[in-house]
Structure 1
Amino acid sequence: MQNKLLFVGLLVSLFLSVNLEAQVVGSNHTTYTEADTLRGSLRPERSNYDVTKYHLDLKVNPEARSIAGSNTIHFKVLGSLPVMQLDLFENMQIDSIVYQNANLEYTRKYNAVFVNFEEALKEKTSDSIKFYYHGNPVVAKNAPWDGGFVWDTDEDGNPWVGVAVQGTGASLWYPNKDHQSDEPDAAQIDIAVPNGLINVSNGRFTGKEELKDGYTKWKWAVKSPINNYNIMINIGNYTHFSDKFKDLDLDYYVLPYNLEKAKEQFEEVQDMMACFYEKMGPYPFEEDGFKLVETPYLGMEHQSAVAYGNKYMKGYLGNDLSGTGIGLLWDYIIIHESGHEWYGNSITAKDIADMWIQEGFTSYTESIYVECRWGKEKAQEYLKGTRRGISNNNTIIGDYGVNSEGSGDMYFKGANLLNTIRGIYNDDELWWNTLRDYTSTYRHKTITTEDTEAFFDKATNVDLKPVFDQYLRHSALPILQLKQGDDHFQYRWKADVINFSMPVDVFIDEEEIRLDATSDWQRMETGEELDEVILNDLEFYVRVYKIK
């Protein structure tokens, strides 16, 4: 039995390293191309306008694996705009780009499209262009870990289509300003699909139109700011059922033969919403409602239309990412992907290098849910268990301006960093108030790591700057060094950050004691041996090195 458990543990560790790392699209590049810069940087061709709305009007042909139609792009001009950069993968064909009933000239470079206006658009004006295109978008090899379309069939042989493009980019399938710093304030998504199928997109369903060519157009409207990669289509032979939480509409779209399983599994949404409302504040997109949509891939945080493919199992496809057993008490995809509605969809990193703001906080929402249901100790045990999926080999923050994410440690190391900061606060009321204030302050905003650091630092008298710096911008954990003396021990931090300091809690003879440790040796009077000095590792994620 022991060898079998060890084998299972090794398999799950491999599962963790492959799956979590694979979700990180651009991690830890050391060299970058011009294509990376065109995608990741903000130059006047991008920064001199702000998108206010996308209106997608497309026909999807599952048999040909093709899409065709237009995107009307509404925008405000922030500075003189003779040339506008949009983004569309170079394998997609441009039919025309129309402005005031005339075709505009354009040039293409890699996945960037440079649109030339005859006269520069003037600052403080509002305008729009209509971008016609068609093609066969990139097919995902293993969604959602690599971007693209998923052309599948359900058990009854009906077409079943999904898309997942986070990191790879929404420009894989529609023209847009493909940078996280600019979210349209609204979106209209009109998708025509073969008769007998349904398309489910973000926001509210506004009606359908039966076309005369064997297709039906399904119309959806989004009234909230939305990330480009969250704008989504889900095509299938769906059946629909609904529920409510307080004033929030809950809608579910699943395959007919999974209806009864879905009704039972999705009851967990009630407990989740009750927990998240209490700990993080109200659902950020009440005007657009909340949906779970069954997909032919595992899941994604598509705003107000969360993709669900966990096969109606507890855990992560029946696995516990923490190895504690706690992760098998709840449906990982429901909780994690819905947690992104607060962190990732409502609060979004301006640059993909700061994706830990989205993934670290959302991984922490898993423990929030556990705490609501099973208590604080279980939540912290779960977080401690997830540390087995942390490599501490590369930095959480990526390189700015080149569309580069940091390492996969942004997930569970980011969550354990937040738990450590909660331990530093040493005041749960302060912690939850600060988290709710953070969620409210930056609702529907794009922000930076510096914004997050400053917010949580301001709430406490402890200087958190060296803590954030060590965990986010260096790969190694800080090491608490303990050295034995006569009737005392000495302690200090060894870290990459110069003059690193951070309070930390240890147990001595079962009494919890706070050490205000710095980079300099300090002395603690005690008759206990070093073996009796035990780190409170449920609250602090650090290394300990004892010198005897």
Structure 2
Amino acid sequence: MTETIDLYLPGGGNSGYRVSRYDLDLEYKVATNRLSGTATITAVTSTALRTLTLDLSEALRVSKVAVNDARPAKFRTKGGKLHITLAQSLPAGTAITIVVRYGGHPRPIRSHWGDVGFEELTDGALVAGQPNGAPTWFPCDDKPSAKAGVGVRIRTESPYYVVANGELVSRRAHAGMTTWTYEQPEPTSTYLVTLQIGRYDRHAVSDNGVSIDAVLPERLRGNFASDFARQPQMMELFCELFGPYPLANGYTVVVTDDDLEIPLEAQGISIFGANHCTGRGRAERLIAHELAHQWFGNSVTVERWQHIWLHEGFACYAEWLWSEHSGGRSADEWARHYHHRLAEAPQDLVLADPGVTDLFDDRVYKRGALTLHTLRRRIGDGNFFALLRDWTQRYRHGTVVTDDFTALASRYTDASLRPLFEAWLYAQALPALEPSS
């Protein structure tokens, strides 16, 4: 088996095994920001192993490690890795269960893109995992290509509501503490595993084929009803255009009591700040963007971060599609607007490989959307949306690279798409837009 190496984050991820499931059994004390518990990791070796590593923040101290019920010869943490030396070598194809007991005061890591990972709020906590924040709260194989099922059981003070990925299968209160248990069976990249803790209430928004719930402070409920009113219509449109919603357990929107610089996506969940829920209707573009990530980014996930346009370009184009559908500017009008903006920006970005510094540059988002709009114009609406539905179904809960998309797109036209993709994906200069029909 060939291990995926991500040159954008060469320190992230590990080799020699493939994880199929994480089970996290945790306790979190809000007042002291103290996290402790046990991670049980189910995996299979892909090569003969005597040593293995997991990604884990140095802010968390490991007290015990066992592999297949036997203590390893030794373990140590260094450089953001938990290094484990096994008592004896394991051949390729061996099923392994790694149990790690750990604890500490989690904190985000500093990155090229600001703070990433587990972060204290004024009265609670959140996880903003993209792209490399998962190790700030659990040991893992932290690369987008390594998808696994996840179970989270977490105990915290009873006044707080806890959201994690998947279905809430139990909620039990005892002696001032509540234990929350969530199950996420669909394969999930580690950066999309999340934990949201606050003084929240949950209420149902809609269930028109896909259930939508909101979790937020009671004081923001009126604003939410106004700002997020058209979210069910967005869900209906995106299911029509992109194919069935990819998760069995529906969609949850969390609004924190604190302001957030940008909304965040997680598997089956989007997280907005109080500043995105003001009652003035200014976040509708962002609401559409985060919902679209459930198809593009969370279900169909890049194998390596250089292909980030397959997440952000698609989610940005979903904003334009929603605008077109809901009576705002058409996608063509948005394309011309942003093409003019990009023409005035530096022409030094290659969309299919933007580099670490520009990974989340707005040019990646807008040029990615323009690429899709140009493709739509070239192959026609019928073929274009059939391609999107094929893309989301063919690679559902899988990982992809740019060549996967361009190869699939070529099946939807008899004409060569090579010049289009060479110009938009691999050249720095911004191509001209084709004239409107």
Residue equivalent to 1:49: 17
Contact 2:223 2:279 in 1 (8 A): no
CA 58–446 in structure 1, closer or farther in 2 if over 3 Å, else same: same
Residue equivalent to 1:37: 10
Residue equivalent to 1:210: 173
Residue 234 (structure 1) shift: 0.9
Task: Kindly provide the amino acid, as one letter, of the partner of residue 311 in structure 1.
Answer: H
Distance in 2 separating the partners of 1:133 and 1:150: 18
Residue equivalent to 1:68: 36
Task: Kindly provide the amino acid, as one letter, of the partner of residue 337 in structure 1.
Answer: E
Distance in 2 separating the partners of 1:396 and 1:182: 24
Task: Kindly provide the amino acid, as one letter, of the partner of residue 293 in structure 1.
Answer: V
Instruction: Indicate which of 364, 380, 384 corresponds to 1:410.
Output: 364
Residue 90 (structure 1) shift: 2.4
* 1:95 and 2:63 are equivalent in the alignment: yes
CA 256–113 in structure 1, closer or farther in 2 if over 3 Å, else same: same
1:82-121 per-residue CA deviation (whole Å, 9 max, x = no partner) reads 2222101223222221123333222444112232222222
Instruction: Indicate which of 307, 330, 344 corresponds to 1:378.
Output: 330
* 1:263 and 2:215 are equivalent in the alignment: no
Contact 1:280 1:435 in 2 (8 A): yes
* 1:137 and 2:137 are equivalent in the alignment: no
CA 431–397 in structure 1, closer or farther in 2 if over 3 Å, else same: closer
The residue correspondences of 1:449-488 to structure 2 (distance < 5 A) are 449-478=402-431
Distance in 1 separating the partners of 2:105 and 2:324: 45
* 1:192 and 2:155 are equivalent in the alignment: yes
Residue 406 (structure 1) shift: 7.2
Residue equivalent to 1:300: 264
* 1:220 and 2:182 are equivalent in the alignment: yes
Task: Kindly provide the amino acid, as one letter, of the partner of residue 288 in structure 1.
Answer: N
Residue 314 (structure 1) shift: 7.8
Residue equivalent to 1:181: 145
Contact 2:155 2:177 in 1 (8 A): yes
CA 352–141 in structure 1, closer or farther in 2 if over 3 Å, else same: closer
Residue 337 (structure 1) shift: 0.7
CA 146–473 in structure 1, closer or farther in 2 if over 3 Å, else same: farther
Residue equivalent to 1:419: 373
Residue 396 (structure 1) shift: 2.3
Distance in 2 separating the partners of 1:467 and 1:82: 48
1:209-244 per-residue CA deviation (whole Å, 9 max, x = no partner) reads 3344x4222111112111211111111111111143
* 1:431 and 2:399 are equivalent in the alignment: no
Residue 416 (structure 1) shift: 0.5
CA 451–228 in structure 1, closer or farther in 2 if over 3 Å, else same: same
The residue correspondences of 1:140-155 to structure 2 (distance < 5 A) are 146-153=115-122
1:256-278 per-residue CA deviation (whole Å, 9 max, x = no partner) reads 11122223333311110111011
* 1:289 and 2:254 are equivalent in the alignment: no
CA 431–335 in structure 1, closer or farther in 2 if over 3 Å, else same: same
Task: Kindly provide the amino acid, as one letter, of the partner of residue 426 in structure 2.
Answer: R
Residue 413 (structure 1) shift: 0.6
Task: Kindly provide the amino acid, as one letter, of the partner of residue 168 in structure 2.
Answer: F
Instruction: Indicate which of 306, 312, 318 corresponds to 2:277.
Output: 312
Residue equivalent to 2:321: 368
1:311-356 per-residue CA deviation (whole Å, 9 max, x = no partner) reads 32589x84xxxxxxxxxxx612211111100000010000111111
Residue 305 (structure 1) shift: 1.8
State the SS of the aligned residue for 1:360.
helix
Residue 59 (structure 1) shift: 1.5
TM-score (norm 2): 0.88
Contact 2:243 2:392 in 1 (8 A): yes
TM-score (norm 1): 0.71
Task: Kindly provide the amino acid, as one letter, of the partner of residue 301 in structure 1.
Answer: E
1:417-440 per-residue CA deviation (whole Å, 9 max, x = no partner) reads 111111222x21111111111121
Instruction: Indicate which of 349, 354, 363 corresponds to 1:394.
Output: 349
Contact 2:410 2:416 in 1 (8 A): yes
Residue equivalent to 1:324: none
Residue equivalent to 1:326: none
Distance in 2 separating the partners of 1:344 and 1:79: 29
Instruction: Indicate which of 222, 233, 243 corresponds to 2:195.
Output: 233
CA 410–294 in structure 1, closer or farther in 2 if over 3 Å, else same: same
CA 383–56 in structure 1, closer or farther in 2 if over 3 Å, else same: farther
Distance in 2 separating the partners of 1:398 and 1:144: 17
CA 405–115 in structure 1, closer or farther in 2 if over 3 Å, else same: farther
Task: Kindly provide the amino acid, as one letter, of the partner of residue 385 in structure 2.
Answer: W
Task: Kindly provide the amino acid, as one letter, of the partner of residue 416 in structure 1.
Answer: L
State the SS of the aligned residue for 1:86.
strand
* 1:122 and 2:87 are equivalent in the alignment: no
State the SS of the aligned residue for 2:186.
coil
Distance in 2 separating the partners of 1:382 and 1:147: 31
1:152-194 per-residue CA deviation (whole Å, 9 max, x = no partner) reads 23xxxxx23212120233112211000111100x211112211
Contact 2:56 2:136 in 1 (8 A): yes
Greater mean alpha carbon deviation, residues 203-212 or residues 298-307: 203-212
Where does structure 1 lack aligned partners over 5 or more consecutive residues? 1-31, 41-45, 154-158, 319-329, 480-503, 506-535, 540-548
Instruction: Indicate which of 388, 391, 398 corresponds to 1:445.
Output: 398
Distance in 2 separating the partners of 1:369 and 1:394: 27
Residue 380 (structure 1) shift: 1.8
Query: When the two structures are aligned, how many residues end up with a matched partner?
Result: 423
CA 405–378 in structure 1, closer or farther in 2 if over 3 Å, else same: closer
Contact 1:398 1:406 in 2 (8 A): no
CA RMSD for the aligned pairs? Answer: 2.8
Question: What percentage of aligned pairs have identical amino acids?
Answer: 27
Task: Kindly provide the amino acid, as one letter, of the partner of residue 41 in structure 2.
Answer: I
Distance in 2 separating the partners of 1:355 and 1:197: 35
Residue equivalent to 1:77: 45
Residue 129 (structure 1) shift: 0.9
CA 407–239 in structure 1, closer or farther in 2 if over 3 Å, else same: closer
State the SS of the aligned residue for 1:39.
coil
Residue 364 (structure 1) shift: 1.0
Task: Kindly provide the amino acid, as one letter, of the partner of residue 202 in structure 1.
Answer: N
State the SS of the aligned residue for 1:82.
strand
Residue 141 (structure 1) shift: 8.4
